[in-house]
Structure 1
Amino acid sequence: MADYQNTVSQRAESALATNKVLRNTYALLSMTLVFSAVTAVLSMSLNLGHGASLIMMLAAIGILWFALPRSYNSSMGLVWTFVFTGLMGASLGPILNAYLALSNGASIVAQALGGTAVVTFSLSAYAVTTKKDFSFLGGFVMVGLIVVLVAMLANLFFAIPAVSLAISAGVVLLMSLLILFDTSRIVNGGETNYVRATVGLYLSIYNLFVHLLHLIAAFTGND
């Protein structure tokens, strides 16, 4: 009887811990997305160029590789998360200005935002409500990301529009699967650090939005 009670107690504690990570992750994710939107608008209003965008992107990558992994378990992790997402948002400014300069640019951006929101909410809700384990997607997504990266590097030299579209379509699919994978890991206790979970989901949403922009613009004859 005592063993049974201990098991029940441990399961209850585990469920509470998982729910706490999930709540903290989506609370922090919401704040970082809003902060990114603010820095993107600021970047747009300052009319920053693509050179500035590249510098901010490189700085964000440096934070992602070096600063964040060393601070996930400390309060500085939150600070670096906001710095990282702020830079990522600001780097979008020149890209958004370029799309908005098109005749139907506002519609393209709105559709990309709406599509990103629908995909993110739907897949996250599905993973949370069903509690299915999508860990089997990890290997497939990793291989897919390597293939996409190689294709991107190759297309820098060949610049074939059809390949560029195929890459964007592949990224949209992979980011969607990553949202399922990452949310599933949180729900099933595979991810216990909400800062790290937030960064992973943020990157998936960011890339999903950028490549949806490309696809929508192309299919409306503007890219």
Structure 2
Amino acid sequence: MAEFDSLRTGTVGARAAQIDEGLRAYMNKVYGLMSVAMLITGAAAWAIAGLAVTSDATNAVAQIGADKYLTSFGALLYTSPLKWVVMLLPLGLVFLMSGMINRMSAAAAQLFFYVYAVVMGVSISSIFVVFTGASIATTFLVTAIAFASLSLYGYVTKRDLSAMGAFLMMGLIGIIIASLVNLFLQSDGLQFVVSVLGVLIFAGLTAYDTQNIKNTYLQHAANGDQEWLAKSAIMGALNLYLDFINLFMFLLQFLGNRD
């Protein structure tokens, strides 16, 4: 009997160690996918802004600052009706990917994620036109530190964060609607309120999503479906990527210095 108990204990311990190892590999993949997407977004935003703005008045369409002019491409992207497509396309692609993920292969989902990262880069490229490079870098550093702390909390905490998930999602829907309305109202007061709520909501979502990603793996690790786990990691990376981007953009409203 003692030998059986020892064998059973050893088997359970080995299984637990295997799950822990798998969880670490899974989370590393999630953060790795997110990091690559962040690099793609940053590179795309910087490149597009470089094409949209020039210091040469000869080929400029409009002056937007001291020795800073919009090119014809920049005017098309930021001042024509195309700007609405650029602003709203990332939101539409998120819903599209969420709806199609079960019918996509893991490789296709990963490619879609990276294409989405490029689109997001185009969408937020105007920050390089509006804000100084130093303030963008500073805000990015602050966001990275805050995100890492919140994600670590979500990973290690024993507190169940699922209860606040519904509240955060309602808040998210609220700020999306308010942001869309403010595209037409252009109210500074509403923008301030949305920015404050946005920082709080995406801070909470960072911790919540991290815990949810971890729990999702623990609940499904035993089924051994590697394709499903791969797609789950991609969706987890997308969620954390969106948390980071939105946290950064809302913080930029407070910390960014306008050029």
TM-based fold match above 0.5: yes
Question: 1:44: how far off?
Answer: 0.9
Structure 2 counterpart of 1:184, from 188, 205, 211: 211
Residue in structure 2 matched with residue 14 of structure 1 by the alignment? 19
| Residue-by-residue CA offset, 1:163-197 (whole Å, 9 max, x unaligned) | 21010110111111111011112233458511000
8 Å CA contact 1:44, 1:94 repeated in 2: yes
Structure 1 counterpart of 2:30, from 25, 28, 53: 25
Residue in structure 2 matched with residue 205 of structure 1 by the alignment? 244
The CA RMSD measured in Å over matched residues stands at 2.6
Residue 42 (structure 1) aligned with residue 60 (structure 2):
no
Answer with 1 or 2: which has the greater Rg.
2
8 Å CA contact 2:155, 2:207 repeated in 1: no
8 Å CA contact 1:134, 1:181 repeated in 2: yes
CA–CA separation in structure 1 for the residues paired with 2:177 and 2:109? 31
CA–CA separation in structure 1 for the residues paired with 2:138 and 2:210? 24
Question: 1:76: how far off?
Answer: 0.5
Q: Compare 89-98 and 160-169 and name the one that shifted more.
A: 89-98
CA–CA separation in structure 2 for the residues paired with 1:138 and 1:82? 26
Equivalent residue letter for 2:164: L
Question: 1:213: how far off?
Answer: 1.4
1:93 partner SS: coil
Structure 2 counterpart of 1:70, from 78, 100, 111: 100
2:106 partner SS: coil
User: TM-score normalized by structure 2?
Assistant: 0.72
Matched pairs, number: 215
1:46 partner SS: helix
1:14 partner SS: helix
Structure 1 counterpart of 2:129, from 97, 102, 106: 97
| Residue-by-residue CA offset, 1:46-89 (whole Å, 9 max, x unaligned) | 11332555434444333322245424652101100100011101
Equivalent residue letter for 1:208: L
Structure 2 counterpart of 1:121, from 148, 160, 163: 148
Equivalent residue letter for 1:106: G
CA–CA separation in structure 2 for the residues paired with 1:66 and 1:174? 23
8 Å CA contact 2:168, 2:204 repeated in 1: yes
Residue in structure 2 matched with residue 83 of structure 1 by the alignment? 115
Question: 1:98: how far off?
Answer: 2.1
Structure 2 counterpart of 1:110, from 122, 130, 137: 137
CA–CA separation in structure 1 for the residues paired with 2:152 and 2:128? 28
Residue in structure 1 matched with residue 192 of structure 2 by the alignment? 165
CA–CA separation in structure 2 for the residues paired with 1:148 and 1:68? 20
8 Å CA contact 1:152, 1:167 repeated in 2: yes
CA–CA separation in structure 1 for the residues paired with 2:110 and 2:187? 40
8 Å CA contact 1:57, 1:87 repeated in 2: no
User: TM-score normalized by structure 1?
Assistant: 0.82
Instruction: Name the CA shift for 1:14/1:190 in 2 (closer, same or farther; >3 Å).
Output: same
CA–CA separation in structure 2 for the residues paired with 1:4 and 1:42? 57
What is the aligned-residue identity percentage?
25
